[in-house]
Structure 1
Amino acid sequence: MALPSLRALRHRNFRLFLAGQIFALIGYWIQIVAQSWLLYRLTGSATLLGVLAFASSLPILLLAPVAGWWADRCNLHRTMFATQVLELLQAVILATLALTGILQPWHIIALAMMMGILVAIELPIRHAYLLELVDGKEDLPNAIALTSLMANSGRMVGPALAGVLIGVLSEAHCFLINAFTYIAVVISFLLIRVRTQPREPSTQPLLAGLREGFAYAWNLLPIRALLLTLSVVALLAAPYSTLMPVMVREVFHGNADLMGFLMSASGGGAICGTLYLASRKNARGLVRLIIIAVLAAGTALALFAHAPSVWIALPLLSVVGFGILVTSVSVNTILQTIVDDDKRGRVMSLYTAAFLGVMPFGALTAGALADLIGPRATLTLGGLCCVTAALFLARNRHRLREQIRPIYEKLGIARR
């Protein structure tokens, strides 16, 4: 009998999906760290680091709603497979340019934007695809938590490996390793056999479908409030990773190895958060948890900005990683639980846009502010704004519970 925290693994398709994606996500984080380190080494510009993050995430904000509309209509398995093949192609191009010595800063930014376009298409489809992988809603919250655990395991292992690989080999070899990890992804998708969820035929035009999705999300207070809170975290807390090369070199006077370990510390905190969320049976009580998580992330970020040593910075980054992860996954779980199935793709595309799509503006602003007022002041400001957002959500908590409770009662997960 499966442990409660691993119950989604009883589904063969989900096991195959997870096995392939863990390799891809480790490779993805190796590439992310290597390309940011290479860009900063070549240019010495914090502003260009912000431009890099902006270029990779802006497509998510612009294209995710369209991808969500598509996710409510397309064959999810085939579309997911296609995006993975195209991401493999992007990795091969980046590795080839780097190994041949042709790679320039503008290549890095352009290819990051290409990956951003593919991720913008993939993520809303991935959220909807989980339902097919676990054959219904019963194990969906656990599948979301385990998927997040997988992603943050890659986030913890990948940067640490990247730091070692950059020191021993080069950034180009990091890009090559990322390309090879997609072999596992292709094999896993060839083995997956899903039962496509029945869908009502629709001839609704694109713009009408998008308007319907936006109206649905805006008119439900829990969805609106949670997405706005998530946007604040994405705008003001998550861009700390963009400034990590600056903090490492100018504040802690370290190298790529140190950057990898600092990024891994935040990934370790995120893993602790996913293990806790995976142990939960359902979405009940997550609004209160989100308030605590945002408050903790903001406070730890402000303290990290003034950490006197690496040894104090490491646990603070773990708290930041824990808080951001718990916030994003808890919002995901609540939305997936309360949303109508025929609007799942569109609502989850708004979730993607509110989190990953808002990040480029935070990254661009953080990079520019760091050049003007310094990285410490920039991170402190972001952390204090997150604390304010947590207090505002706490003030409206009871209104959210009043609207969520009837849905939970209908699903049989509300406390009697």
Structure 2
Amino acid sequence: MRLRLPPSLRALKHPNYRLWAAADLVSSTGSWMQVLGMSWLVLTSTGSATSVGLTILFSAVPMLTLGSWAGALADRLPTRPLALVTQSLHLLLAVALALIAIHGSSVEMIYVIAALGGAVSVFDSPAMGKLSAQVVPREDLGNALALGSVLNSTGRVLGMSLGGVLAGLVGNAALFAVNAASFLAVVVAVLAMRTGALFPLPRSSPERVGVRAGLRYLLGDHRLLVLFALGFVLSSVGRNYQVSMAAMSSGPLAAGSEGFGFLSTVFAVGTVLGGLFAAHRRELTLTLLLGTAAVTSVLQLLSGFSPGLLTFAASMLPIAVGAVLIDTVMGTRVQLDTAEDMRGRVIAAQGMVSAGAGALGGPLVGWLAETLGPGRALNVAGLVTVVATAVATVALLRLRRRRRQEAESVSARDTLELTA
């Protein structure tokens, strides 16, 4: 018996996606608990915020160095077994962190585990990305990704809020133990999926296997390069809101930690609304992506002039909606508009762009806030993203015009051959 669901929830009619969605919510909640727990563990062990930043850096470096090979491997190996291996390794690393929290260890060991976790994530991301495209048919993939944004945002709120309570009651080790259990839930869900109800992707032919073939494909797809470039700018100077919200709260808004907490809550609500809005859309198009990027960029520019906390929060809410909508549309277009046998390498390349943007953007936005002031930094960052969006729009329009002309040329040539 098929479930009757509204269009915004249509992906849930597929039994494998229901397993995936439940596991995604549990895993996201556990992962955010671990983020909170690891940051607090390092901070209490060293008393240094720089050490916390180094933990994030060590976890991001593997994506920048190994991403291409991980994507090629994901396109070569069966998706489900690879996902089971990476999720099991994440589980073991979470257990190791729980033991460290109980028995104590050097901060260097935490750095090692952070780096190992980052290395596992490099291979996990394209494998799980490909698996997410196999639990629903092509026409429901956009809806599945939009619902995934809602689940991830909900998991973030649950993980950070429940994690804070749990850490206070029983200590950090419990956060890592819960995260380990969340990975076990994903393993069980993947094993429980019905093989006959999956929508498998084709494997690469011998001449399209490997890193070089993936690089040639990426360099040949100019539209994809434009999207990645725009995504890099939006994610670096236009996305580090934790930095800018903290700087505005402690600076011109004079709102302190309570104001920062309030802004974080508003932003979290916006991310959930953004996911719900994306789920209601029948199609997630490039026009929607560019329009949202333009609106959020202008709002970011204007937010730097906010005279008070409520005004700034009023600008953060639609910006959060737009941020999730941009990520969802970008992820959907990357999945749907690329060759299926190249999917793992393209997802890995997108992950490398995101990691590079995060590594550059946080320090850059922080430096701008310290040098120009938080408000002026938002003005400058917003102006940069406005320009980047305009340039990307022009470039994509030219590419579309060129493709149309090439298609018309081919059609005319075929017509001449038929009449000859």
2:415: which partner in 1? Answer: none
1:125: which partner in 2? Answer: 127
Deviates more, 1:384-393 or 1:7-16: 384-393
Q: How does 1:30-179 map to 2 (within 5 A)?
A: 30-37=33-40, 39=42, 47-102=50-105, 104=107, 106-134=108-136, 136-166=137-167, 170-179=171-180
CA positional deviation for 1:342: 1.8
2:392: which partner in 1? Answer: 393
Alignment-mate amino acid for residue 149 of structure 1: V
Provide the rounded CA distance (Å) in 1 between the counterparts of 2:372 and 2:171: 32
Q: Cα deviation per residue 1:9-66 (whole Å; 9 max; x = unaligned)?
A: 1211111111112111011112223433554566665554543332222222222221
Residue 10 of structure 1, aligned match among 4, 8, 13: 13
Alignment-mate amino acid for residue 113 of structure 2: L
Q: How does 1:16-35 map to 2 (within 5 A)?
A: 16-35=19-38
2:348: which partner in 1? Answer: 349
CA positional deviation for 1:226: 0.7
* CA-atom RMSD in angstroms: 3.3
Alignment-mate amino acid for residue 126 of structure 1: M
Asked if structure 2 preserves the Cα contact closer than 8 Å seen for 1:80 and 1:126, the reply is: yes
Asked if structure 2 preserves the Cα contact closer than 8 Å seen for 1:46 and 1:367, the reply is: no
Asked if structure 2 preserves the Cα contact closer than 8 Å seen for 1:50 and 1:360, the reply is: no
Q: How has the CA–CA distance of structure 1 residues 62 and 323 changed in structure 2, closer, same or farther, with 3 Å as cutoff?
A: farther
Structure 1 unaligned blocks of 5 or more:
408-416
Q: Cα deviation per residue 1:344-382 (whole Å; 9 max; x = unaligned)?
A: 222222222222343223234445666666666655543
CA positional deviation for 1:220: 2.3
Q: How has the CA–CA distance of structure 1 residues 249 and 26 changed in structure 2, closer, same or farther, with 3 Å as cutoff?
A: farther
Alignment-mate amino acid for residue 349 of structure 1: A
Q: How has the CA–CA distance of structure 1 residues 377 and 42 changed in structure 2, closer, same or farther, with 3 Å as cutoff?
A: farther
Q: Cα deviation per residue 1:48-85 (whole Å; 9 max; x = unaligned)?
A: 45433322222222222212111211110111111111
2:417: which partner in 1? Answer: none
SS of structure 2 residue aligned to 1:281: coil
Deviates more, 1:151-160 or 1:258-267: 258-267
Provide the rounded CA distance (Å) in 1 between the counterparts of 2:203 and 2:113: 37
Q: How has the CA–CA distance of structure 1 residues 376 and 163 changed in structure 2, closer, same or farther, with 3 Å as cutoff?
A: farther
Asked if structure 2 preserves the Cα contact closer than 8 Å seen for 1:160 and 1:260, the reply is: no
Does 2:363 correspond to 1:361? no
SS of structure 2 residue aligned to 1:238: coil
Asked if structure 1 preserves the Cα contact closer than 8 Å seen for 2:202 and 2:340, the reply is: no
2:413: which partner in 1? Answer: none
1:278: which partner in 2? Answer: 279
CA positional deviation for 1:159: 2.4
Provide the rounded CA distance (Å) in 1 between the counterparts of 2:46 and 2:383: 31
Q: Cα deviation per residue 1:94-122 (whole Å; 9 max; x = unaligned)?
A: 22212334463x44443332222222111
CA positional deviation for 1:227: 1.0
Q: Percent identity?
A: 30
Asked if structure 2 preserves the Cα contact closer than 8 Å seen for 1:157 and 1:264, the reply is: no
Provide the rounded CA distance (Å) in 2 between the counterparts of 1:171 and 1:308: 39
TM-score by length of 2: 0.82
Deviates more, 1:377-386 or 1:66-75: 377-386
Q: How does 1:236-247 map to 2 (within 5 A)?
A: 236-241=237-242
Alignment-mate amino acid for residue 149 of structure 2: S
Q: How has the CA–CA distance of structure 1 residues 113 and 386 changed in structure 2, closer, same or farther, with 3 Å as cutoff?
A: farther
Asked if structure 1 preserves the Cα contact closer than 8 Å seen for 2:201 and 2:340, the reply is: no
Provide the rounded CA distance (Å) in 2 between the counterparts of 1:142 and 1:108: 38
Alignment-mate amino acid for residue 114 of structure 1: L
Larger Rg: 2
Provide the rounded CA distance (Å) in 1 between the counterparts of 2:31 and 2:261: 14
Structure 2 unaligned blocks of 5 or more:
407-420
Q: How has the CA–CA distance of structure 1 residues 51 and 247 changed in structure 2, closer, same or farther, with 3 Å as cutoff?
A: farther
Asked if structure 1 preserves the Cα contact closer than 8 Å seen for 2:75 and 2:341, the reply is: yes
Provide the rounded CA distance (Å) in 1 between the counterparts of 2:260 and 2:101: 21
Deviates more, 1:217-226 or 1:374-383: 374-383
CA positional deviation for 1:278: 1.5
Bigger relative CO (Cα 8 Å, ≥ 6 apart):
1
2:211: which partner in 1? Answer: 210
SS of structure 2 residue aligned to 1:327: helix
Provide the rounded CA distance (Å) in 1 between the counterparts of 2:64 and 2:264: 24
Asked if structure 1 preserves the Cα contact closer than 8 Å seen for 2:75 and 2:204, the reply is: no
Provide the rounded CA distance (Å) in 2 between the counterparts of 1:36 and 1:261: 21
